[in-house]
Each structure stands twice: as C-alpha cells, then as structure tokens.
Amino acid sequence: MHDSLDLTSLLSGLSQDCCRLFHGRGGFHPRFAHVAIDWFAPVILITFYQDCSQNETLQRDIIHLASLHDHIKTVVVQDRYLPQSPKRVVFGQLPQEPIALENGLKYHLSLKENQNHGFFLDMSSGRRWVQNHSSCKRVLNLFAYTCSLSVAALAGEAKSVINLDMSRQALAVGKENHLLNFTPATCQRVSYLGHNLFKTWGRLKREGPFDLIIIDPPSRQPGSFVAEKDYARIVRRLPELSHPKTQIMACLNSPYLGASFLHHLFEDYQLVTTLDPARGFADKEPERGLKSMIFEQV
C-alpha cells in the first residue's frame, strides 16, 4: 500500500463509464505528480510521465488489486518519458476492441500503439455541453481529431457536422466512432475535411454560416499550430463563418496560457459560460489545465 495514494478506494466502485481515477498533474500529491491512472472498462491505463523509483511499486500494487477485482481485466502501462511513448500490457489481455464508454456513447481506443489513445478524457464537460446545445444546429468542429465532439453533437440531434483536422488518420477513426453509435443514415449528416485549417478558409466559408463553431487546437504543434500566434488568426476569420447568433466553443489546453488569453482573444464577444473541468481533473492551479469557454457575439 502507498501512504499517500489510496488505491483501494480509487479502484472500487468503478462504473462502466470511463474516467480519470488519479490526476497527478493536478498537484495534490507531489510524489505522484508524474502519474495518471485512467479507467476504460475493463482496462486500467497507468501513464508515467517520468521514470521514478516508485513506479514499479505502484504498478505492482495496482496489478495486485486488479487480480482481486473481477471487473478489472487488464492493466496497461504507458511510459510517456520514453521515445514513441510505448505502451505495455502488464496484467491480463487487451480486449479485442477496446472502447471508451461515456454518457451512453462509445469511442474507439488505441491501447497498442500511438502516443495518444484517441480519446481525451479531460474534454468530457465539453462533450456534455455540446450534446446539450446542438439540437438542429449546423456545427463546425475545428481540430476534430477522432471527432468525439462531433459524436456528442450528433447525439444531441445536430442538423449537420463538419469535422476538420489535418490528420486524415484521426478523422478515419472519427468516422468509425460515428458508425459505432449511429445508423449509416444518421452518419450522412457528418462530413470530414482532412486539411490544414489555414489553407481551407474558402471551402469553410462556402459551407457556412454555422450555428456552433468548436475550436479545440493543440497548444503547440510546431509547423501546424502555435496558440500564441495562430489562435488570433482563427478569431479574425470567425465573422466569415458565423451569423449574429452563432455560439463559439473556444478551448485551450496549455499550462502556460491561462483563461485571460482566451478572454483577451474574444474581447469583442460576450462570454456565455465557462465549462467546469472534467470529473477527476481537479487541479491546484486550474489555469494550467484545459479551459473551455462559450462565447457569442455581443
């Protein structure tokens, strides 16, 4: 057992819904600041962001508890500090088709390879908001990745969704994510643009105006998007894609840029609401985590 991590209570009472069980980066347990523990039933995913002496003991204790709990079939460890961030199965076997279940919706997970497993748990408040505010709307999902926000929009009866991301591989998973949840006829309301946003304005303008525009970029992806200089370029283009009632969901996940960065970018807009952090992502310094805000024109 660990003095400061109560693994027994962390791993008991798990439901089928995925969630973050332990968020070391939140800063409440300094000894474990380099650890994240996620639940994707029936899999526990442990992520180590640093090679530390306590990693082995923590892993061993989680495997021991997993062996006592029928609902935990597999434990996977990802070493994010190593090149390529390899994952390894340390207990049980990977399910044939690992799935993240959230709010009744399913998403494909990649637990074998790839640095990211294809589903961002910290966006759960965003997905919930989008599902509750998409009815009959034309939605533009920028930086769509595997389209989880599009799945949420369609579940919320969106009229149409356009997903844009320069990674066609991620969009291909996104397409599968829709097919996992909806009939082929419903999936017809969704389209995919595998392009660099900054070379696609003309096409987007022709498709608009949109009722809801989601902006969830990386904080820094050199050559593709750097928030400090590129976020403002998107905000400048918004009037071409919107009408007076369009809602904008603006997100930013950077430890270095706080909420004021978004407030400043959207100073000509009205803030409708700021979304709460996702369950399990409490942070001693909330400004460092994911920020999601809804704006409208004044």
Ligand X SMILES: C[S@@+](CC[C@H](N)C(=O)[O-])C[C@H]1O[C@@H](n2cnc3c(N)ncnc32)[C@H](O)[C@@H]1O
Nearer to ligand X, 125 or 186 (CB): 125
Other residues' Cβ atoms within 10 Å of the Cβ of residue 247: 21
Nearer to ligand X, 132 or 196 (CB): 196
Nearer to ligand X, 190 or 197 (CB): 197
49: left (phi over 0), alpha (psi -120 to 50) or beta: alpha
Instruction: Choose, by CB under 6 A, the member of 114, 191, 224, 297 that binds ligand X.
Output: 224
| CA dihedral of 82, 39, 65, 4, whole degrees rounded to 10 | 70
CB 281 within 8 A of CB 20: yes
Nearest distance from C-beta of residue 40 to ligand X, angstroms: 15
Sheet with 210-215: strands ordered across: 190-193, 160-164, 138-142, 210-215, 242-253, 290-297, 269-274
Give the single-character DSSP code of 22. E
β 138-142/160-164 pair status:
parallel
Question: Of 18-26, 71-79, 130-138, 146-154, which part binds ligand X (CB under 6 A)?
Answer: 146-154
Q: Taking CB under 6 A as the rule, does residue 181 contact ligand X?
A: no
Instruction: Choose, by CB under 6 A, the member of 54, 59, 114, 167 that binds ligand X.
Output: 167
Sign for the pseudo-dihedral over CA of 205, 194, 199, 196: positive
Nearer to ligand X, 58 or 149 (CB): 149
Nearer to ligand X, 165 or 211 (CB): 165
Q: For the packed helices 168-181 and 148-155, what is the interaxial angle rounded to 10 degrees?
A: 30
Q: Taking CB under 6 A as the rule, does residue 129 contact ligand X?
A: no
Question: Of 44-52, 71-79, 159-167, 289-297, which part binds ligand X (CB under 6 A)?
Answer: 159-167
Extract the tokens encoding 275: 């979304």
Binders in 99-128 for ligand X, by CB under 6 A = 120, 123
User: What SS3 class is residue 156?
Assistant: coil
Nearer to ligand X, 78 or 141 (CB): 141
Question: Of 51-59, 131-139, 145-153, 234-242, which part binds ligand X (CB under 6 A)?
Answer: 145-153
Instruction: Choose, by CB under 6 A, the member of 166, 173, 235, 294 that binds ligand X.
Output: 166
| Locus of tokens 């027994």 | 8
Q: Taking CB under 6 A as the rule, does residue 192 contact ligand X?
A: no
Binding stretches for ligand X (CB under 6 A): 120, 123, 143-146, 148-149, 164-167, 170, 196-198, 216-218, 221, 224-225
